[in-house]
Structure 1
C-alpha cells in the first residue's frame, strides 16, 4: 500500500511537472511580448528624456503647461507602470510553474506531500485499531449469546 501511494505520488509529481512545462511553454511567448513592449516603453521614455534634456528650461516649462502634452505624458507614465506590473505578474506566473526540488515551490510541495503521507499513515493506524476494537466487541457479544443459548438448551434460566 505504501509503495502504491509512493508510485501514485510520483505519477502526480510527474504530471505536475509536465503540466508546468507545458504552462511554461505557453507563457514564454507572452513573456517575450511583454518584455518587448517594456523595452519599447523604456525606449520611448528615454527619447522623451532626451528630448526634454535638449530643450531649454523655458520650453520645457511651456510644454508642461500645455494640458495636451501633460495628459499625454501622464498617460505614457501610467502605461509604463502598467507594462511593468504586467511583466512582473507574468514573471511571477512563470516562476510559479517552474518546479524543481530545489525551488521554493518544490520544497513547499515536497513538505506538503510528506505531511499528507504522515496523515495517511496515522489515519490507517486509527482505522485498523478501530476495526480491531469493533471486532472484539462483536466477539464478546457473540460469546454472551452462545452462553445464553447453551443455558436455554440445557434448561437453565438465562441470566440477565
Structure 2
C-alpha cells in the first residue's frame, strides 16, 4: 500500500479549508501558497474533492471554495478512496497454503487495522490537531 501525494494533498487542502474557510470562501491560489502545492495540480485535486462532495465552489469575485460537509462528517478513509480508489492491500487468490497464510496473517490484519484507523479519523480531528500544533509553534520563541 502506498499513500499517494494525491491523497496527501487532498487531505492537506481539506485541512486548509477547515481552518480558513469557516466564515468565507478560500481562493485556490491561497491554498496553493500556504501548502506549497502547485496551483495546477491543486485544481485537479479540487475537481476530485468537489465530485466526491467534500468541497463546493462558489463562482464570482468573492467566490472560492468551502467545505461541502461538516468537518466531523468527512472521514479520511472516504477522502483517500475519492483520491485513489481502494487503499487496501490486494487479496491473494491462491489455493497454496503459504498464500493462504500470507492472506490470513498479514494482508487481512493490515487491511483491518488500516480501515479502523482511517475510518476513525475525521477532518475535524485533523483540523484541531493542526490548530494545536500551529498555536504551540507560535508560543515558542528563541533567544
TM-score where L is the length of structure 1:
0.30
Q: Name the structure with the higher strand share.
A: 2
> Which has the larger Rg?
1
TM-score where L is the length of structure 2:
0.32
